Structure 1
């Protein structure tokens, strides 16, 4: 089975995934209704292709704070060294290194979504385990916060394969990571 690991994440135009306090409240004003300008539909189409999710503990806790678990029964691996409660039976906590878990993920799943956060994404880049990137630029400058890309990994070439501009001002770039 051939598998793909995709980083699909939103960032401010100046490259932050959260503000200086770790909050993503600034995303709220850009949330669209299901009958909006295509953002919800684009996400739904992407999510339909995903059969496994991975995220860091901070992202997991943020998702829980939004209310109902949005990922249904799709297997979700949460990287953490803390003792957390699972949102559903599909949530698994792992304290392994990315390099140790990725071979298992690639064997078991055809499309893995790296949900966030930035530190976990950077770990996947360090291991050269991101195959595709869907980066949604939110039309806001935060000035400070948690940067999506802060180095610690080797240079990697990405090829732009698509761009979608939404009425909200969000611009999504789709990249494939070159071999």
Structure 2
């Protein structure tokens, strides 16, 4: 089986994902406690995360613990190189990189800009 690529984004009706100031709170806010189940099932269904460096840096301001530490995580960056504790930095075309991934991965494309 080839990789399955998922796009799972909280967005407003005008297709805003992040606010002009760079914040990524859910447009319109959320009600209730926790994730209300909207994210947990999806998070458990993926095994590979691909994100841009801005998304990766933002996660560090929002989370105490890296939320994808038990998944293969690739961060696309022009400036960062090599690996950090839970991620591998990549500086190449996103499509070419995904084309080289092998196995039955469920890949989440989370905030990649290329």
- TM-score, normalised to structure 2, is 0.81
- Residue of structure 2 in register with 1:54 after alignment: 50
Distance in 1 separating the partners of 2:23 and 2:33: 22
**How much does 1:93 deviate?**
0.3
**How much does 1:25 deviate?**
4.0
Distance in 2 separating the partners of 1:41 and 1:26: 15
Could you list the structure 1 runs, at least 4 aligned residues long, displaced by more than 6 angstroms after superposition: none
- Residue of structure 1 in register with 2:80 after alignment: 83
Q: Secondary structure at the match of 1:55?
A: strand
Distance 1:31 1:79, change over 3 A: farther
Distance in 1 separating the partners of 2:71 and 2:28: 25
**How much does 1:27 deviate?**
4.8
Conserved? CA contact 1:51–1:109, under 8 Å: no
- TM-score, normalised to structure 1, is 0.55
**Correspondence 1:25-174 to 2 at 5 A:** 25=25, 27=27, 29-30=29-30, 32-34=32-34, 39-67=35-63, 68-83=65-80, 86=84, 88=85, 90-105=86-101, 107-117=102-112, 119-120=113-114
Q: Larger radius of gyration, structure 1 or 2?
A: 1
Q: How big is the alpha-carbon RMSD for the aligned residues of Structure 1 and Structure 2?
A: 2.4
How many residue pairs get matched? 112
Distance in 1 separating the partners of 2:4 and 2:69: 21
Conserved? CA contact 1:52–1:109, under 8 Å: no
